Amino acid sequence: ELITDLMCNGLDIPSAWKVPRLKLLLKVGSHLNKKNYRPITVIPVLSKLFSIFLHERSVGPVEQQKILV
């Protein structure tokens, strides 16, 4: 229902959904060497689900009406 409200009523996406977190993962080697870390961005699950939902809702009509040829 929240997603429908966001789409139909033009409500803003909650700011907590927009804030990604940066995590550093140790690849190999010493944890003291900063070159041994790889940064990854963790996005909120609700943001990802909302993106998937929007994609699914928009791709169908676009493909059916052959808007992007």
pLDDT one-digit tens code per residue, 6-58: 666 666 777 777 788 899 999 999 999 999 999 998 888 877 887 788 787 77
Residue of 61 and 40 predicted with greater confidence: 40
* pLDDT greater than 70 at residue 2: no
Per-residue pLDDT, 69: 61
Residue of 41 and 63 predicted with greater confidence: 41
DSSP state of 66: T
For the chain, the first-to-last Cα distance in angstroms comes to: 33
Please enumerate in sequence order all residues whose Cβ is within 8 A of that of 30, keeping only pairs 6 or more positions apart, or say none: 36
Whether the pTM exceeds 0.75: the reply is no
Q: How many CB atoms lie within 10 A of CB 1?
A: 5
